[in-house]
């Protein structure tokens, strides 16, 4: 795949680099500040220890030699002590009493604070950094100001080196992490590229192929598995559609052949009126079956495109179901079946009467179709406070448990050998389910092979039931 500015690989690499840059800057600043602080503190601790030692020496001196003045003692002491810090002693009014050798090299300004407690300071003089300690102490029985000061140029130099090395290494590290980020994102997205290439090469004719699943136990693996499940569903749907198209072509071909042959035979020579009627009956039956099939196909297409006009109104479901049952009773009688209706009165629902009629018709028609001669079919309506329960039961051939979850799929027929002759297209229950769906109803099926099936529809009960006058007015119209 081509690398563009919008490519995910590049975006990830840039993000990674920005993150690395921010981390480096934060880490660099923190370690610089911390190192500076540590060096400062250690120097202050050393100065404080030196100051304490100094005062202790002066305080213990008189016991050994009482002839020396304070200045002489200080002089001797500063020779004995390593000359790391310059020692200066002042009267409290600022009059200098003592300055150790080297003090003239720099003049440390007197701090503004009284420095009763120790006060540390940092002074820059003649290009040097000087750390200072001022403290009012008691020496030789007097209160004096003791001032220690020492160059900390090595510290400044060390910090400068650290800073320079950061400035040198940070860009190098940044380049390395940018390259690393790019390589890592490139590797991480390799399975996506493979999947994309594979998905691109899968056409409608090879839906059996599957995407490679990276064994990474991460989101990419889930994505590949999800795509494969989608392909599986697509494959099933396309196979069913192909099968259905073949079946339909075959059925329509058979119908047209039957009609053509019947008509040709009838026209071949002069026939009796009864023979003509028989030929026309055959043609009519074929036409009816074909028309039913075309209606089903149209209903499915419309449902798909959500173009179906749904005319929601208060519907007397009890009446509607009785009407459909009455219409189909003749068909059941042809097979010597009994069709019993046990309908609670006043079951009103909000819906489209023609769609509801179609749904009930499909369920009853199936019950008749899939129940052998002399079977029994029952349709019932009950209601509770919120719902209407419509049940269509039969003691027909039943549905195998493995087929039961699929009967609402489009074009699914448990026994594909049933032909258009029986009006079997595999679309009826799909339409019924769609009708139930648009009415906020749920449709379920239960069945025992050999014992029969039961289809239940649970629909919302209409909240407003029209008054008796309105019902009779509607009946008159
Ligand atoms: P068809 O046009 O084939 O009847 P349907 O979608 O209405 O299509 O039904 C799908 C399949 O479910 C049918 O092919 C049939 O095998 C099964 N089926 C539906 N209703 C019943 C029933 N009452 N008894 C037994 N099988 C049924």
Residues 6+ positions from 106 with CB-CB distance below 8 Å:
86, 125, 126, 128, 130, 149
In this predicted model, which residue has the larger pLDDT, 74 or 18? 18
| 199 located within any domain | no
Please check whether residues 30 and 119 belong to one and the same domain: yes
Q: Which residue, judged by its Cα, is nearest atom 11 of ligand 1?
A: 413
- Cβ of 366 closer than 6 Å to ligand 1, yes or no, is yes
Atom of ligand 1 at shortest distance to CA of 426?
A: 8
Please check whether residues 149 and 238 belong to one and the same domain: no
* Model confidence pLDDT, tens digit, residues 66-122: 677 778 877 777 776 656 778 888 888 878 888 877 666 666 666 677 788 888 888
Last residue in a domain, options 304, 321, 337: 304
- Cβ of 358 closer than 6 Å to ligand 1, yes or no, is no
Look up residue 385 and give its DSSP letter: S
Mapped onto helix, strand or coil, the DSSP state of residue 227 is helix
| 1 located within any domain | no
Residues 6+ positions from 286 with CB-CB distance below 8 Å:
255, 258, 259
Q: Which domain holds residue 75?
A: 8-164
φ/ψ of 183, rounded to 5, equals -65, -45
| 137 located within any domain | yes
Please check whether residues 292 and 355 belong to one and the same domain: no
Among candidates 466, 443, 470, which has minimal Cα distance to 454?
Answer: 443
Please check whether residues 374 and 226 belong to one and the same domain: no
Last residue in a domain, options 249, 275, 304: 304
| 268 located within any domain | yes
Please check whether residues 385 and 322 belong to one and the same domain: yes
* pTM flag (> 0.95): no
Please check whether residues 330 and 442 belong to one and the same domain: yes
CA 413 to ligand 1 center in whole angstroms: 6
Please check whether residues 154 and 132 belong to one and the same domain: yes
Does the pLDDT at position 219 exceed 90? no
Rounded Cα–Cα distance for residues 434 and 442 (Å) = 10
CATH number at residue 431: 3.30.565.10
| 209 located within any domain | no
Please check whether residues 236 and 332 belong to one and the same domain: no
User: How many domains is the chain partitioned into structurally?
Assistant: 3
Q: How confident is the model at residue 385 (pLDDT cuts 50, 70, 90)?
A: confident
Please check whether residues 142 and 290 belong to one and the same domain: no
φ/ψ of 465, rounded to 5, equals -95, 125
Last residue in a domain, options 278, 304, 330: 304
pLDDT-above-70 percentage for the chain: 88
Long-range contacts of 191-197 (CB under 8 A, 24+ apart): 191/216, 191/220, 191/224, 192/8, 192/220, 193/1, 195/220, 195/223, 195/224, 195/227, 196/1
Please check whether residues 58 and 105 belong to one and the same domain: yes
Mapped onto helix, strand or coil, the DSSP state of residue 208 is coil
Q: What count of other Cβ atoms lies within 10 Å of the Cβ of residue 361?
A: 19
- Cβ of 394 closer than 6 Å to ligand 1, yes or no, is yes
Query: Dihedral, CA atoms, 314, 437, 318, 296, nearest 10 degrees?
Result: 110
Please check whether residues 154 and 15 belong to one and the same domain: yes
* Model confidence pLDDT, tens digit, residues 133-147: 888 888 877 888 888
Please check whether residues 36 and 78 belong to one and the same domain: yes
């Amino acid at each position: 795949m081509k690398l563009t500015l919008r490519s995910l690989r590049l975006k990830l690499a840039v993000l990674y680099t920005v993150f690395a840059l921010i981390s480096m800057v934060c880490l660099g600043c923190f370690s610089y500040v911390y190192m500076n602080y540590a060096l400062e503190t250690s120097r202050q601790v050393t100065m404080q220890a030196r100051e304490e030692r100094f005062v202790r020496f002066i305080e213990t001196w008189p016991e050994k030699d009482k002839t020396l003045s304070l200045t002489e003692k200080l002089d001797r002491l500063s020779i004995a002590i390593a000359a790391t810090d310059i020692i200066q002693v002042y009267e409290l009014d600022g009059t200098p009493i003592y300055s150790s050798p080297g003090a003239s090299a720099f003049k440390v300004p007197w701090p503004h604070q009284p420095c009763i407690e120790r006060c540390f300071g940092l002074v820059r003089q003649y290009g040097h950094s000087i750390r200072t300690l001022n403290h009012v102490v008691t020496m030789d029985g007097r209160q004096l100001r003791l001032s220690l000061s020492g160059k900390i140029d090595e510290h400044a130099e060390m910090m400068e080196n650290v800073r320079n090395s950061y400035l040198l290494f940070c860009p190098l590290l940044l380049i390395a992490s940018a390259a690393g980020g790019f390589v890592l994102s490139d590797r991480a997205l390799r399975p996506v590229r493979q999947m994309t290439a594979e998905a691109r090469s899968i056409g409608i004719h090879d839906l059996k192929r599957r995407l490679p699943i990276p064994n990474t136990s991460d989101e990419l693996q889930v994505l590949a598995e999800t795509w494969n499940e989608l392909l599986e569903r697509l494959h099933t749907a396309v196979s069913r559609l192909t099968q259905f198209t073949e079946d339909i072509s075959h059925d329509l071909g058979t119908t047209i052949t039957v009609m053509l042959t019947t008509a040709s035979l009838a026209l071949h020579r002069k026939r009796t009126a009864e023979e003509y009627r028989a030929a026309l009956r055959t043609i009519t039956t074929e036409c009816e079956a074909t028309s039913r099939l075309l209606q089903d196909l149209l209903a499915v297409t419309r449902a798909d495109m959500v173009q179906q006009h749904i005319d929601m109104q208060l519907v007397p479901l009890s009446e509607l179901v009785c009407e459909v049952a009455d219409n189909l009773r003749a068909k059941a009688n042809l097979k010597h079946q009994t069709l019993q209706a046990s309908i609670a009165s006043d079951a009103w629902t909000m819906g489209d009467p023609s769609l509801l009629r179609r749904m009930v018709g499909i369920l009853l028609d199936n019950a008749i179709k899939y129940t052998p001669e002399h079977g029994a079919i029952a349709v019932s309506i009950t209601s509770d406070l919120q719902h209407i329960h419509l049940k269509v039961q039969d003691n027909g051939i039943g549905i195998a448990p493995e087929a039961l979850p699929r009967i609402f799929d489009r074009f699914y027929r448990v026994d594909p050998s049933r032909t258009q002759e029986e009006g079997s297209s595999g679309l009826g229950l799909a339409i019924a389910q769609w009708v139930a769906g648009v009415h906020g109803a749920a449709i379920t099926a239960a069945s025992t092979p050999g014992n029969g099936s039961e289809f239940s529809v649970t629909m919302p009960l209409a909240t407003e039931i029209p008054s008796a006058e309105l019902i009779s007015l509607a009946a008159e119209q």
